[in-house]
Amino acid sequence: MELNEITQASQNYDENQIQVLEGLEAVRKRPGMYIASTGPKGLHHLVYEIVDNAIDEALAGFCDRIDVEILPENIICVTDNGRGIPVGIEHKTGLPAVTVVFTILHAGGKFGGGGYKVSGGLHGVGASVVNALSEWLEVEVYHEGTIYYQKFERGHAVTELMEKGTTDRTGTRVRFKPDPLIFQESTEFDFETLQTRLREQAFLNAGVHICLADRRNAGEPVEDSFCYHGGISSFVEYINKKRAVELIHPDVIYFSCAAADGNSTAEVAMQYTDSYTELMLSFANNIHTTDGGTHEEGFKRALTRVMNDYARKYNILKDNDKNLSGDDVREGLTVIISVKLKDAQFESQTKGRLGNTEIGTLVNGLIGDKLATYLEENPATARAIFDKALAAARAREAARKARELVRRKSVLENAALPGKLADCQSRDPEETEIYIVEGDSAGGSAKGGRNRKFQAILPLWGKMLNVEKARLDKVYGNEKLMPVVTALGCGIGDEFDLSKLRYGKIIIMADADVDGSHIRTLLLTFFFRFMKPLVEEGHIYLAQPPLFRITKGNKHHYAYTDGERDRIMSELGGQGYEIQRYKGLGEMDAEQLWETTMNPETRIMLRVEVEDAAAADEAFSVLMGDKVEPRREFIEKNARYAELDV
């Protein structure tokens, strides 16, 4: 009997070993199937995957501290103070459970029958994927006085699980080095990217201490640590501070509940600001659901209903008044919805949308039950919120009337092209391009440098609009945006007509500084909200001017990043060159601008994806460490830097 069991186990062991090799080989062959990409996004994903496992241990109530360290050579070390991954033999495979976690695809956390583990859904591909994509990975488990250790290389165990001394702590430590054969673009971790994500996770998991330390450089490490006892309420406070908006009421409103069947929980934290935009962030199992889903819809439905019921009851809306719209009751609202559930179903191509209908019901019920009571019990807050919503309703009505007026005059059809526009000769959108340029001197260089056959230049003038502070509904009267509308010729909103678009490529050309980022965000937000098909159909681009010019002899080399500058310098050998750093487009003369940024043969441009524009719209900069980072997708198949003869 005893013997039988062992034989059984070892038979399975062989079969499983084959499976393991095939499984992890598949991950290495087609990493894109398991992680976001093999670019920077996928690289950082590895860290999230490991940290998520430690957070699960925290959610189970056994761990309250997680340390993340970036070590020299971009090695990552994650340590928690939980129970330690189990080291006992797992019967199906005959292997220690911890070995299974790292070598069998999708095995992470599913053993032990604890039942607490909410499925990772989107990202929960497991520690084995991280292992497969690491040059090497070491795990240490601190359990009942013993340190257990095992090492892997590119997914294969190179040691058994072994005992390696004693300890008086408990927990798990994982160290890994991402495989440069997989992450060919770069294995360099970005502190800010990790900081942003870990902060977010600390908000979503109240009370967990998460510490981040960058030890790549000699001397004091760069460190940050996060622990928020207020959870998502603290998250709302944090965002509203970052947004630099005035608060409509002092306290964040917070509700939570659990489903009767014990399979899910929902939390909502919300606060109104004087902004004209809403900022809704939703999460399912700590994963940001960028495309929303049932939890967001349940919230919106309930909010609109509760607000209108209350307004009717207290005669804030008179009998003849129309109901407040969803947009009205969400204007200026910052809200975070976080749900945790057993079998999360994600929809849509990007998988950023939650599909579980029972969660819509749960959130709808939560707000339906508790917000009405909250408003009854906090009349001053209720008053302030309704003043805001009523103002929004009036403004929207006024905007609608203005729009109708404009439509009747059919201003867009007949509008003269803007005076500042330097148009191109061609009328064929297959080849035409319009550069939208902020400011005077850059506009001048662009006009001088362009190919006037197919490149038009539109310099933008007038006072900068703050997206947070301005109602973009008023675009018709806006001196900054109106020239863009008339130059493109395709109208906006309901009247948008892609077939009237005058230029096939719309290229935003702005400096790589704060002002430039501001104009980029404004335009992306504007296109996303009012000319969405332009974004969806891939007509919007960001020009990429170089940051440096390195001159040696009569040859100029242009570098678009610090890394490229260093590479070019080392390729040129020690000395005899001159470096110029471009602070703005205005520093380039017409010819340089053409060579580096506008010539279709040599330029580098980024095509804006819907995701990028949506990020700008969500005022996502608050979460992304103030940078709108478009995906590095080059539309021109050029080398990373252009080397040009003078």
Query: Does 96 interact with ligand TSJ (rule: CB under 6 A)?
Result: no
Query: Does 108 interact with ligand TSJ (rule: CB under 6 A)?
Result: yes
Cβ nearer to ligand TSJ, comparing 79 with 308: 79
Cβ nearer to ligand TSJ, comparing 90 with 278: 90
Query: Does 114 interact with ligand TSJ (rule: CB under 6 A)?
Result: yes
Cβ nearer to ligand TSJ, comparing 78 with 204: 78
Q: How far apart are the C-alpha atoms of 589 and 594, rounded to whole Å? A: 9
Query: Does 85 interact with ligand TSJ (rule: CB under 6 A)?
Result: yes
How much of the chain is helix, strand and coil, in % rounded to 5? 40, 20, 40
Catalytic site residue 515? yes
Q: How far is the CB of 223 from ligand TSJ (least distance, A)?
A: 18
Tell me, residue by residue from 126 to 145, as one string, x for binding to ligand TSJ by CB under 6 A and - for no binding. Answer: -x------------------
Q: Which one, of 485, 423, 487, 483, lies nearest residue 454 by Cα? A: 423
Query: Does 433 interact with ligand TSJ (rule: CB under 6 A)?
Result: no
Q: Which of 138, 200, 267, 438 is catalytic?
A: 438
Catalytic site residue 513? yes
Residues contacting ligand TSJ: total by CB under 6 A: 18
Q: Which of 515, 562, 566, 571 is catalytic?
A: 515
Q: How far is the CB of 58 from ligand TSJ (least distance, A)?
A: 9
Listed ranges 109-117, 152-160, 196-204, 570-578: which one lies at the site for ligand TSJ (CB under 6 A):
109-117
For residue 357, what are the contacts with CB-CB under 8 A and spacing of at least 6?
A: 294
Cβ nearer to ligand TSJ, comparing 174 with 302: 174
The answer to whether the CB of 32 falls within 8 A of the CB of 38 is: yes
The answer to whether the CB of 642 falls within 8 A of the CB of 594 is: no
Query: Does 531 interact with ligand TSJ (rule: CB under 6 A)?
Result: no
Q: Which one, of 97, 157, 125, 163, lies nearest residue 36 by Cα? A: 125
Count each helix (H run) and each strand (E run) in the chain, helices first. 18, 27
Cβ nearer to ligand TSJ, comparing 86 with 326: 86
DSSP state of 596: I
Q: Which one, of 355, 344, 61, lies nearest residue 208 by Cα? A: 61
Cβ nearer to ligand TSJ, comparing 69 with 595: 69
Measured between alpha carbons, how far is residue 414 from residues 417, 467, 475, 478 in Å?
9, 28, 17, 18
Tell me, residue by residue from 43 to 82, as one string, x for binding to ligand TSJ by CB under 6 A and - for no binding. Answer: -------x--xx--x--------------------x-x-x
Q: How far is the CB of 123 from ligand TSJ (least distance, A)?
A: 12
* Residues between 165 and 204 with contacts to ligand TSJ, criterion CB under 6 A: 172, 174
Catalytic site residue 438? yes
The full length of the chain comes to 646
Q: Quick check: helix, strand or coil at residue 171? A: strand
Query: Does 625 interact with ligand TSJ (rule: CB under 6 A)?
Result: no
Q: How far is the CB of 131 from ligand TSJ (least distance, A)?
A: 8
Q: How far is the CB of 612 from ligand TSJ (least distance, A)?
A: 30
For residue 475, what are the contacts with CB-CB under 8 A and spacing of at least 6?
A: 481, 482, 485, 492, 526, 530
For residue 410, what are the contacts with CB-CB under 8 A and spacing of at least 6?
A: none
Q: Which of 15, 144, 479, 513 is catalytic?
A: 513
Cβ nearer to ligand TSJ, comparing 46 with 605: 46
Cβ nearer to ligand TSJ, comparing 34 with 435: 34
Query: Does 109 interact with ligand TSJ (rule: CB under 6 A)?
Result: yes
The answer to whether the CB of 100 falls within 8 A of the CB of 15 is: no
Listed ranges 8-16, 101-109, 227-235, 627-635: which one lies at the site for ligand TSJ (CB under 6 A):
101-109
State the Rg of the chain over Cα: 28
H/E stretch holding 554 = none
Measured between alpha carbons, how far is residue 313 from residues 7, 118, 302, 308, 369 in Å?
74, 41, 16, 8, 16
Query: Does 101 interact with ligand TSJ (rule: CB under 6 A)?
Result: yes
Query: Does 123 interact with ligand TSJ (rule: CB under 6 A)?
Result: no
Give me the DSSP letters along 293-361: BHHHHHHHHHHHHHHHHHHHHTTSS-TTSPPPPHHHHHTTEEEEEEEEESS--EESTT--EE--HHHHH
The answer to whether the CB of 629 falls within 8 A of the CB of 609 is: no
- Residue numbers annotated as active site: 438, 511, 513, 515
- Please report, as ranges, the residues that interact with ligand TSJ according to CB under 6 A: 50, 53-54, 57, 78, 80, 82-83, 85-86, 101, 108-109, 112, 114, 127, 172, 174
